[in-house]
């Protein structure tokens, strides 16, 4: 692959709304019309709990904010549910007049700091608000995923719904505290709600020091499936893999095409990529330092 050319940070959380106390993480672009896109993202409140809202932009003038939701499109779940401590954006699928928002629902743990699982919400008003499909997760714990699931990428191909998602493989002691381990697996569905999973691993750990592989974004481009993700030992960087069929992946992080800046908002970390096509070009939305604390950036493939 070629390299990404930075356009720059296009949205930084500055308490523009009461629900945006800090962070603008996990961007998801949804095409509206022309060069106009809606970008869903997750912002945190004063207690660190995330909610999902959106802003709108025109790719020809990406630094001009066209719209920003006054309230979240998806808030916290009821007390005691799997998403009562936060919801983070993952993917949007449009099917006819409905839009489906896949998200990660967070709750606090007991023996571990947190747990998250994949939830699903639907919109009947063009994506301006969403209601939960069910009170529980659509991908809960199982023999295949005994720890956690999250951050799904969902494509619909010839009636088949395909998902690449984060799957926890362990919690391990590190410095006297539990630390998560998760990589990327695959699932399929006929309706986008009920999913079959066999434990197929798409992207596994590259070294013993790597413990988190997160936020897969998959596209079909130039005859192959291409996946960007973020991965870390010390700090998140972008990773990359290719596949002829979406099942078997060859990882080559040197082809990710973007590294941290020398200084500035993305000089410490690159996280949570989202890649999309528009007018024959490929664009990348991503987070920089602090897991979205410094906002959302945009780049285009050279």
Host H or E run for residue 42: strand 36-44
CA 196 to the chain's CA centroid: 21
State residue 35 phi and psi, 5-degree precision. -100, 15
Which 8-state DSSP code applies to residue 12? -
Q: Name, in order, each residue with C-beta under 8 angstroms of 145's C-beta and a sequence gap of 6 or more.
A: 139, 167, 168, 185, 197
**Domain spans of the chain?**
4-14+78-301
Contact 19, 51 (CB under 8 A): yes
Number of residues that make up the chain: 302
For the full predicted model, state whether its pTM sits above 0.85: yes
Q: How far apart are CA 156 and CA 222, in angstroms?
A: 18
Beta strands in 75-148 (DSSP E): 87-95, 98-108, 114-123, 131-132
CB 93, CB 70: distance < 8 Å: no
Question: What does residue 46 show for φ and ψ, rounded to 5 degrees?
Answer: -65, -15
**How far is it, in rounded angstroms, from Cα 50 to Cα 35?**
28
- Which residue has tokens 């009461």? 18
Residues 117/140, Cβ–Cβ less than 8 Å:
yes
Q: Which element (helix H / strand E) includes 41?
A: strand 36-44
User: For each of the chain's 302 residues, which pLDDT tens digit applies?
Assistant: 679 999 999 999 999 999 999 999 999 999 999 999 999 999 999 999 999 999 999 999 999 999 999 999 999 999 999 999 999 999 999 999 999 999 999 999 889 999 999 999 999 999 999 999 999 999 999 999 999 999 999 999 999 999 999 999 999 998 899 999 999 999 999 999 999 999 999 999 999 999 999 999 999 999 999 999 999 999 999 999 999 999 999 999 999 999 999 999 999 999 999 999 999 999 999 999 999 999 999 999 99
Q: How many CB atoms lie within 10 A of CB 256?
A: 22
Q: Which residues contact 60 (CB under 8 A, 6 or more apart)?
A: 35
What is the DSSP code string of 165-184?
A: EEEEEEEEEETTEEEEEEEE
CA 66 – CA 178 distance, rounded (Å): 42
Q: In the CATH hierarchy, which fold is given to the domain comprising 4-14+78-301?
A: Tachylectin-2; Chain A (2.115.10)
């Amino acid at each position: 692959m070629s390299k990404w050319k930075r356009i720059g940070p296009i949205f930084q959380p500055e308490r523009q709304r009461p629900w945006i106390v800090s962070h603008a993480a996990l961007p998801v672009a949804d095409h509206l019309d022309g060069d106009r896109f809606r970008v869903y993202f997750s912002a945190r409140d004063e207690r660190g709990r995330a909610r999902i809202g959106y802003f709108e932009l025109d790719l020809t003038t990406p630094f001009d904010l066209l719209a920003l939701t006054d309230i979240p499109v998806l808030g916290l779940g009821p007390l005691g549910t799997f998403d009562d401590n936060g919801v983070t954006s993952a993917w949007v699928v449009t099917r006819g007049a409905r839009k489906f928002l896949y998200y990660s629902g967070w709750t606090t743990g007991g023996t571990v700091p947190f747990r998250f699982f994949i939830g699903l919400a639907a919109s009947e008003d063009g994506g301006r608000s969403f209601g939960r499909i069910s009170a529980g997760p659509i991908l809960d714990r199982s023999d295949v995923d005994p720890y956690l699931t999250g951050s799904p990428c969902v494509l619909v191909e010839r009636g088949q719904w395909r998902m690449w998602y984060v799957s926890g493989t362990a919690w391990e002691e590190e410095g006297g505290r539990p630390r998560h381990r998760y990589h990327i697996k695959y699932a399929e569905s006929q309706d986008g709600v009920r999913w079959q999973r066999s434990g197929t691993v798409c992207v596994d750990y590259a070294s013993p020091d790597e413990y988190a592989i997160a936020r897969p974004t998959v596209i079909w481009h130039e005859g192959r499936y291409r996946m960007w993700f973020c991965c870390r030992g010390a700090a998140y960087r972008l990773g990359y893999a290719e596949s002829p069929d979406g099942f078997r992946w060859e990882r080559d992080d040197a082809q990710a095409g973007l590294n941290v800046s020398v200084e500035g908002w993305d000089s410490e970390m690159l996280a949570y990529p989202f890649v999309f096509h528009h007018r024959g070009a490929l664009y990348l939305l991503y987070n920089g330092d602090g897991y979205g604390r410094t906002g959302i950036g945009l780049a285009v493939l050279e």
